Structure 1
Amino acid sequence: MMDKFPLPKSIDEIRVLVVDNQALIHDLAKSALLELGVRQVSSAQNAYHALRLCEKFQFDVVLLAFNVSNDKDGFHLFEELKHNNYISDKTTVVFLSAETSASLVNCIIELQPDDFWVKPLDKKRIQKRFEYLINVRRKLHKVMHCMDSADYSAAIYHAERGLTDSSLVEYHPRLKRMIGECLLQLREYGSAERYFTNLKNDYDHAWVNIGLVRSLFKQDKVLEAELLAEDLLQRPDTRFLTYDLLAQYYISKEQFDIAYEQVKAASKLAPRNIERNKKLWDLARLNRDKYGQLDAVQNMAKYAKNSIHDSPELSLNVVRTMVDLAASVTGAESEKLQRKIHKEILAVDTSDTSEPSLGNKLLVIKARVESIKNNKKSAEKMLKDNLNKEITMNLEDNLDLMKAYHELGMKEECLAILDSLRSQLEGDTLVSQVVDEYLKREEIERREIKFTTKELKEMAAVNYRENRILPAFNNLCQAMTLSPQDKSIAFSLLKVLVHINKKEPLDDAQFSIAQTAADLLNKDTLVPGQQQKRDEYLHALGMSEVQADAG
């Protein structure tokens, strides 16, 4: 039995690492821990030093300040320590911070440390919390060992025994939480629902409510889950976790428009998570929100800086997304974006990188920019003469090349890439599911629509001026398919439909398109001039703003 459940280390065997850029914190922590009997306390004043120490020693407890130093913050350092297996589920991790903003607390909670200590610290509080955390490891070690080994049934058995031990009363809430986690891991969702429902009578903690919502969604009890989620979105301690849970559920059900709104809300509350920002980017692409795409990739590049996620690829994705946007807008906005793109290309082109495929990637981006400028022959020549097809390209590289071919009207080359792209998706993750759905829609649109959003808008404008109203309408319908969040297209569609309606009443399909355009313009805030123009169009079509909203 001793071999199966090895006892935790004694207090004098525990090795502690304190990571903070304030000497006072090191002195205070070391003094407090020495009085408790801790004999091995190491100090690091920056992330670099912390990593070097972790290469030499295996620490049992890490006290980690969120603001470490300029080289890497605590969030990034924690990710790197975990990535390198310097800390594991058996390591007790405590975050330290003087800042308690909601976004920072959400980000820390998401990392699931064992505790969060708010500065300024004092000796008595350090000792009290440290003793509690060490006792959790010592007194609940059988349950924690089983959970670390993914033996959840055994973990429940030992946790339930612990609940009958009066000496563990202080730890009963933690044991109950462990039981709930194990039931979810075992996929016993009906049992989990009953368990969390009963717990709610005594505990109104965030983990109880979130566990209950998760178990309801897993059983597709959507109405019950959504009702409870509505209440939890009003609570500061559950809002962020609820948005994240809702997003996971709606993605699993392929309700990507609803999932997108949930992920946007979660990202605002905890903006540093790179994987969530990647999911946000994928959902923005799927929902054809090009401004949302740009926001997501810019956040990824911003928050990945100095982290294990940092790479030249993130900067390239920002440029690519700017090109996507520039290819969908016209006039001054497109020209402004093109100037920004030129600066970003120069910055990436002159950066110190040994990546052999960088030249290929930049070539595709430059060709797309030339295409936006209507220098299509030059762009096509660039690709035919200089593209190295022997270099292996990743999913994003091939997506960008597919767009370049499409913008140049090279349909066969475009569709050939589409046919091979799905093989690059790995696994059955939520992200791969979103990207796969995106590729399905891309394939339909690339096969049926030959032009970019920008080109279709320009063609519609020419056709409208030449009084070719139905061709203008068809151009705009295709443009709206590619960019369904573009308000300028919605305005143009309503203007054209007003013209059509003067000659003969709109048919059902045309009225439905008018409804879609009106809904988009009613959803977003418009300046007074735009509001007036929208209302004029809706009045001319016999549609009030209320009717549009009702649609």
Structure 2
Amino acid sequence: MEDNGNLTVLVIDPNPGMRGSLQNMLNMSNISKIEFAVSSGTAIRALSRRAFDIILCEYDLDSGGEQGQDGQQLLEDLRHHKLIGMGAIFIMLTSEGVYSKVVSAAELTPTDYILKPFTVDVLMQRITRAVERRRVFLPTYKLIDQGSVRDAIRSAADAETANPRYAADFVRLRAELHASLGEHPQAEHLYTAMLGVKQIGWASLGLARSLFAQGRIDDAEAVLTQLVAVNPKLMAAYDMLAKCHESNGASARAQQVLEDAVAISPHMVRRLRHLGEVALDAGDMSAAEKSFKQVVSKAKYSEFRDPEDHVNLVKTLVQRGDATQASGVIRDLERSLRGNPNVDACKAISVAMLHDAAGNSDAAATELANAVGAVRASSGLSTKLRIGLAESCLAHKLDQGASEVMLSVMNDTKSGVSTQQAMSVFVKAGRRDLADGMGAQLKAQAQIMLGVAAEKANMGDFKGAVQSLLEAMHMSPGNQQVMIAVAKGILRQLDELGWDNPLAEICHAQMEAIHRDDPGHPQLDLINREYIALQRKYGIAAA
């Protein structure tokens, strides 16, 4: 067992008396490497500087009289922004008797939570149990942190055999790792096998996610509907079921599912945001306003506030005809979140909506132009917001601004927007000429990326070369020259750095596309032979 003297602990509690009591308890158990945080903000700064073995976090972080996040909201931020690793032990401390808050905290999977008052024996029992579990999982976690996912899968399989007490947990981890590699059939197999032994909520949820990722939306929906019926406290199942309904175009059903989830667990900011977006799409302005107001209020003290929440609230209020409240939201945005390009863009978009609602088209156009300028210097703005900005620019004849914003979307490989989808924004606005112009620019940029990839490959940066090639493919899908370059670049990386299943699948997809377009292409046979040779080299069974 790990020596307690080597454990590092961060105590997050605004109450000095409780901090002192926890320090005494930890010292009695030979734990002396302790740091303290009095709020979510100081905790985030401490966790940004270094990692801790154990985090003891008071749920009610307002108990010291200072407003701020509660422990659940802090944990949500820490998980989402990856400020705590898989090996971190997060224990929630609470005397909170409100059931909904306990559910909200529990669904974020803290390692444990302890109800106050508690003794030093109870605290150390929980810590000892958590440390012992971490010891078993740590070798696999380290491989994951190093990016060695395949080695981590093998490590988890070995540990599963050696530690039958945690066998189910290692099956779950292996399935999640396969899913992270895009190997959803393998993940599906593991979840199905687990369900054959015992009906476990996380296995049903994982199975549904695997089915969804494979495009089997109706099958996923059936699994989730049954799961919610038998396990109504598994909150993530509601989120996934709502995604299924959205994919099938059933916004009203998605909204109802999310409302059911919020009624059970009302403190998850990201779920409230999702509910607001779905309600907005479904045309339920009252529900959208309620949700976005809660999001803005609950996120007020987060270190990671998102100015787009204000934009969504302004949009809802404008559509409801409440310009006065919308103006107040914009003032709050400017006052509390000023000082970065994302905020400037969001403010300009919001003010433009107000001007449009008042019939001030020229003033709206000026603000939209300001928003385009702010987008140039921004980072992390959502695809949905940028596409909405482009559509507004087109409506106001700001052709150059619309093209610039849509190019920023297409140059972002994480946007999830295809070239065809981007073109459709212009086509729907009756501007086929702008769509053709953007297509020509993307092809030119793809050619530049091919040159960048060649330079990286010549320098031995095979991963970097493939990344540039994938960017070129995103910009110019269906371009035969790009497809050939992508296939050859991936084959070179696989040969030099080892087999990578998701990349191999991309390579194979390019080979099939080339064969469909030009079965007699002079390089296709060579690429096929190299692919088969690599399968043999790594002992991969040919399909």
Residue 161 of structure 2 is aligned to residue 173 of structure 1: no
Contact 1:156 1:179 (8 Å CA) reproduced: yes
- Give me the whole-angstrom Cα distance separating, in 2, the residues matched to 1:290 and 1:421: 28
The residue that corresponds to 2:188 in the other structure is 193
The residue that corresponds to 2:373 in the other structure is 392
SS at structure 1 position matched to 2:14: coil
SS at structure 1 position matched to 2:303: coil
> Any idea what the Cα deviations from partners look like across 1:478-511, whole Å, max 9, x if unmatched?
xxxxxxxxxxxxxxxxxxxxxxxxxxxxxxxxxx
Q: 1:425 aligns with which of 409, 413, 420?
A: 409
> Any idea what the Cα deviations from partners look like across 1:46-99, whole Å, max 9, x if unmatched?
335435654665422111122123233223434565688753233222222223
The residue that corresponds to 1:340 in the other structure is 325
> Any idea what the Cα deviations from partners look like across 1:224-255, whole Å, max 9, x if unmatched?
54333222112445542212122344555666
Q: 1:120 aligns with which of 102, 117, 120?
A: 117
Counterpart amino acid of 1:305?
A: K
Q: 1:41 aligns with which of 34, 37, 44?
A: 34
Contact 2:314 2:350 (8 Å CA) reproduced: no
Q: 1:302 aligns with which of 288, 294, 297?
A: 297
Distance 1:389 1:351, change over 3 A: closer
The residue that corresponds to 2:200 in the other structure is 205
Counterpart amino acid of 1:138?
A: R
Distance 1:114 1:347, change over 3 A: closer
Q: 1:325 aligns with which of 310, 320, 328?
A: 320
More deviation, 73-82/343-352: 343-352
Contact 1:402 1:415 (8 Å CA) reproduced: no
- Give me the whole-angstrom Cα distance separating, in 1, the residues matched to 2:111 and 2:269: 22
Counterpart amino acid of 2:38?
A: Q
Shift of 1:305: 0.5
Shift of 1:156: 3.5
Residue 278 of structure 2 is aligned to residue 290 of structure 1: no
- Give me the whole-angstrom Cα distance separating, in 1, the residues matched to 2:340 and 2:141: 43
Contact 2:185 2:210 (8 Å CA) reproduced: yes
Shift of 1:307: 0.6
Contact 1:76 1:306 (8 Å CA) reproduced: no
Residue 23 of structure 2 is aligned to residue 30 of structure 1: yes
Seq. identity, %? 20
- Give me the whole-angstrom Cα distance separating, in 2, the residues matched to 1:294 and 1:437: 29
> Which runs of no fewer than 5 residues in structure 1 stay unpaired?
1-7, 327-336, 372-378, 448-551
The residue that corresponds to 2:212 in the other structure is 217
Contact 1:402 1:414 (8 Å CA) reproduced: no
Q: After the TM superposition, which residues 59-70 of structure 1 pair with which residues of structure 2 at under 5 Å, given as runs?
A: 59-69=52-62, 70=67
Q: After the TM superposition, which residues 479-490 of structure 1 pair with which residues of structure 2 at under 5 Å, given as runs?
A: none
SS at structure 1 position matched to 2:397: helix
Counterpart amino acid of 2:96?
A: E
- Give me the whole-angstrom Cα distance separating, in 1, the residues matched to 2:100 and 2:422: 30
Contact 1:162 1:175 (8 Å CA) reproduced: yes
Shift of 1:292: 4.0
Size of the alignment, in residue pairs?
414
Distance 1:108 1:380, change over 3 A: same
The residue that corresponds to 2:355 in the other structure is 367
SS at structure 2 position matched to 1:298: helix
Shift of 1:278: 4.3
Shift of 1:391: 6.1
Counterpart amino acid of 1:61?
A: I
Contact 1:320 1:400 (8 Å CA) reproduced: no
The residue that corresponds to 2:524 in the other structure is none
Distance 1:443 1:137, change over 3 A: same
Distance 1:352 1:414, change over 3 A: closer
The residue that corresponds to 2:69 in the other structure is 72
Q: After the TM superposition, which residues 523-538 of structure 1 pair with which residues of structure 2 at under 5 Å, given as runs?
A: none
The residue that corresponds to 2:514 in the other structure is none
- Give me the whole-angstrom Cα distance separating, in 2, the residues matched to 1:386 and 1:181: 45
> Any idea what the Cα deviations from partners look like across 1:130-164, whole Å, max 9, x if unmatched?
11111112233222223333434433433333343
The residue that corresponds to 2:11 in the other structure is 18
More deviation, 438-447/94-103: 438-447
Contact 1:232 1:238 (8 Å CA) reproduced: no
The residue that corresponds to 1:483 in the other structure is none
The residue that corresponds to 1:133 in the other structure is 130
Counterpart amino acid of 1:340?
A: Q
Q: After the TM superposition, which residues 506-521 of structure 1 pair with which residues of structure 2 at under 5 Å, given as runs?
A: none
Distance 1:341 1:253, change over 3 A: closer
More deviation, 125-134/26-35: 26-35
The residue that corresponds to 1:536 in the other structure is none
SS at structure 2 position matched to 1:392: helix
Distance 1:244 1:348, change over 3 A: closer
Shift of 1:182: 3.0
Counterpart amino acid of 1:368?
A: D
SS at structure 1 position matched to 2:69: coil
Contact 1:28 1:123 (8 Å CA) reproduced: no
Q: 1:159 aligns with which of 156, 159, 165?
A: 156
The residue that corresponds to 1:89 in the other structure is 86
SS at structure 2 position matched to 1:88: coil
Supply the RMSD in Å over aligned alpha carbons: 4.3
